[in-house]
Structure 1
Amino acid sequence: MINVAIVGTGNISNSHIQGLLTFPERCKIVAMCDIYEEKAKELVRKYELKDAQTFDDHKKMLASDMKIDLVHICTPPSSHGEIAINCMNAGKNVLVEKPMAPSLKECDQMLEAERRNKVVMGCIAQNRFRNSIYKLKRMLDSGLAGKLRCAHVNSLWWRGHCYYDLWWRGTWEKEGGGPTLNHAVHHIDMINWMQGELPIEVTSMLANVMHDNSEVEDISFAALRYRDGAVGEVTSSVVHHGEEQGIVLQCEDAKIAAPWSCAAEVTQSNGFPVKEHNGELIAKLNEYYDGLDDLQYEGHTGEIDNVLTALENGKRPMITGIEGRNTVELITAIYKAGFEKKTVTLPIEPEDEYYTVEGFQKHAVHFYEKKESIENFEAGEISVGNYKK
């Protein structure tokens, strides 16, 4: 039985709790921690977590005599590094919500703590555990569509003006960024997974067009170039009505996409496509896709299952700290390119100012100044993505 603690009891912690409660024979929630302890107590009541103690400080939790094997970190991004390192120094495995940390320096400190303490760190990227994304990766790896040459990534969300009224949101210091960091993190992880490597060049444009109570961007456009000449583009937004997310992969022989669609062309002698398209290849692609089994568990539940399985078998989870760091590195490059209005090359080395949170914030563009805030929202529903099969 794996004893689990959750630090941070905001909206996303519900997905963690529900996922953990799917496996009562494998894990047990023994602690809930939040700087507002009443929020932790409320979730204990809501989910009837009879074995769970509550704390208002993760250090108090770690100093107790509780047996904790795994800590889920669901706090604002600025605190991920400190809490994760403290937990790993106490010998606990950790599962860190997205993004892993606001800076590459913190990511590397977390990785060092993992190695030094011989524990396991996983990073949340739960959309790899959605059927549409998982199957798209399987389709790409099959080679039926040919080599990936151009990727279009749409991380399109909508958040009302009051979304940024919360005290830590919309600030470079506490939230670390806007939708590029906190929403498109999912899709940037996906494109890294599909490509299997980071790009070598990035350029971008950042703007804030609808949220004047936020320092950070509410939309960005990024263009990527890879070592083999392939290219990609990423749109990160919280101003798009309809919240349509997806990935389109233009490969040498066909287009494949999530939500699932495919297309394939063959040429006439004049270079224009034939009217009938490449019906034979389209049929093969659809047949292969339809033959792929669905995942047993999706979203956070799927990733939690993977992490529990890794711990039970002494292995690494699918999404490691290295994977989490790669996502932060690409996001950092997008911000650097947007702040400086120039093309940025990767990797971002430790001597680069953008490697540290202090250097990053020194260059961060303040689109507006956040002058007022509220401490907490009332409980309400949240949207976690519009993913079709």
Structure 2
Amino acid sequence: MKKLKVGIVGCGRISVIYKDAFRRCSDLIEVKYAVDKVLKRAEEFAGDFGCGFSDSYDDILVQDLDVIHICTPHFLHKEQVIKALQKGINVLTEKPLAINLEDADSIIKAAEASGKKFGVIFQNRYIEGVKEAKKIIEKGDLGNIIGAWSHLTWWRPPSYYECDWKGSWEKEGGGVLIDQAIHSIDLVQYLVGSPVEWIHGHIDNRILKTVEVEDVADAVIKFNNGCLYSLFACNYYTSNAPIQIEIMGEKGKVNIKGFDVTIETDSNKYEIPATSMTDVSFSGQGYWGIYHYEQIIEFYNNVINNSSVPIDGAEGRKALEIVLGVYQSSREGQKIFL
């Protein structure tokens, strides 16, 4: 089988996850090119694979590539994704899809027009227990989903924001919601499985005064199926505590703590531990988890087999719309309807 030719744009913090995934996918891919605005970072990444590198995004577009991974600051996603798609290259981008819905919709239209595969990274959907919970909910074993909550208390030191885009509304698009809590928001909406009816939320900056974006947020979110979702997130805690999520049904519930999942129904209780990070090659932050590989290899197989991408632009848009809805509700000081 001919291997896919792959490139990456953005060789910063998250790129170590991609190095691990690329090595594990070596039977499917050849890593051909790396780009970062800091040339040394691109060179170091490329050195692990013996591939080309550059500090110019335009250089990767003239390479003979099948897939480009976008791992750049949020505000760059629209332009970089669309340019790659228009060049006939399949694209898998880090979350968020974009920093506003207009840009998100432009990307989705470009993907549809190109006929290429496009996906958005939400790796936590690939947690073993989450996949099982989704099956059980869809079978109806939990009955109607009536409630949900998520709780994220993490820590981002001032050094985290010592770059030219983090902590900025213009470039990051927000703070703890769009950067950290978007993953738990995505899991909740994915498991609840219903569009959102309305959002009543509030954001603030209480501790991290060196940035302009929110360091805390809370909201109540009403889904069309009647489920009420209570959301809390902050990134001024003293450490990165395990994310906690609960999905409550009429006949049972799902509890997620970190990457471990417990599912209780009227007749059964399932405890589904996550794959240990000691079981695979892993050099990233513990709170990232190890599930990028699962989504990345599935994307490669989608390209090879010309099959549908499960987390495409439309799926990636759902959590973004909730995040932006909380921002809008907070600005207007009232409930907003989607």
| TM-score calculated relative to the size of structure 1 | 0.78
* Larger strand fraction of residues: 2
Equivalences, count: 321
Distance across 2 between alignment mates of 1:155 and 1:345: 25
1:5-154 equivalences in 2 (<5 Å): 5-45=7-47, 48-50=48-50, 52-63=51-62, 66-154=63-151
Contact 1:136 1:258 in 2 (8 A): no
Of residues 263, 268, 271, the one that matches 1:285 is 268
1:305 aligns with 2:306: no
Distance across 2 between alignment mates of 1:16 and 1:209: 34
Query: Which one has the largest radius of gyration?
Result: 1
Q: CA deviation at 1:125?
A: 0.2
Q: CA deviation at 1:23?
A: 1.2
Q: CA deviation at 1:262?
A: 5.2
1:196 aligns with 2:193: yes
Gaps of 5+ in 2: 281-289
Q: CA deviation at 1:290?
A: 5.4
Contact 1:135 1:292 in 2 (8 A): no
2:327 aligned partner: 335
Of residues 210, 219, 222, the one that matches 1:225 is 222
Contact 2:129 2:273 in 1 (8 A): no
1:238 aligned partner: 235
Distance across 2 between alignment mates of 1:246 and 1:309: 31
Q: CA deviation at 1:60?
A: 2.0
Contact 1:249 1:257 in 2 (8 A): yes
Q: CA deviation at 1:246?
A: 2.0
Distance across 2 between alignment mates of 1:294 and 1:216: 34
- Write out per-residue CA displacement over residues 227-254 of structure 1, whole angstroms, 9 at most, x where no aligned residue: 2322101112212334220210111122
Residue identity in the other structure for 1:6: I
2:286 aligned partner: none
Q: CA deviation at 1:100?
A: 0.7
Q: CA deviation at 1:102?
A: 0.3
2:246 aligned partner: 248
Q: CA deviation at 1:294?
A: 7.5
Q: CA deviation at 1:213?
A: 0.5
- Write out per-residue CA displacement over residues 103-125 of structure 1, whole angstroms, 9 at most, x where no aligned residue: 11111111111111111110000
Cα distance change on mapping 1:292 and 1:14 into 2, 3 Å: closer
Residue identity in the other structure for 2:295: E
Distance across 2 between alignment mates of 1:309 and 1:121: 13
Distance across 1 between alignment mates of 2:238 and 2:25: 36
Of residues 153, 158, 166, the one that matches 2:155 is 158
Distance across 2 between alignment mates of 1:330 and 1:231: 13
Residue identity in the other structure for 2:59: K
Q: CA deviation at 1:263?
A: 5.9
Cα distance change on mapping 1:49 and 1:303 into 2, 3 Å: same
Contact 2:192 2:247 in 1 (8 A): no
Residue identity in the other structure for 1:251: G
Residue identity in the other structure for 1:254: G
4+ aligned runs moved over 4 Å, structure 1: 290-298
Contact 2:165 2:172 in 1 (8 A): yes
Contact 2:128 2:272 in 1 (8 A): no
Q: CA deviation at 1:212?
A: 0.7
2:311 aligned partner: 319
Cα distance change on mapping 1:292 and 1:10 into 2, 3 Å: closer
Gaps of 5+ in 1: 265-280, 347-389
Cα distance change on mapping 1:239 and 1:132 into 2, 3 Å: farther
Deviates more, 1:325-334 or 1:136-145: 136-145
Distance across 2 between alignment mates of 1:256 and 1:124: 23
- Write out per-residue CA displacement over residues 134-193 of structure 1, whole angstroms, 9 at most, x where no aligned residue: 233233234222211000012332111322222211011111100110111111111121
Contact 2:262 2:272 in 1 (8 A): no
The percentage of aligned residue pairs carrying the same residue is: 26
- Write out per-residue CA displacement over residues 335-383 of structure 1, whole angstroms, 9 at most, x where no aligned residue: 100111110100xxxxxxxxxxxxxxxxxxxxxxxxxxxxxxxxxxxxx
2:283 aligned partner: none
Contact 1:165 1:213 in 2 (8 A): no
Q: Secondary structure of 1:184's match? A: helix
RMSD (Å), alpha carbons = 2.1
Distance across 2 between alignment mates of 1:309 and 1:109: 25
1:179 aligns with 2:171: no
Q: Secondary structure of 1:229's match? A: coil
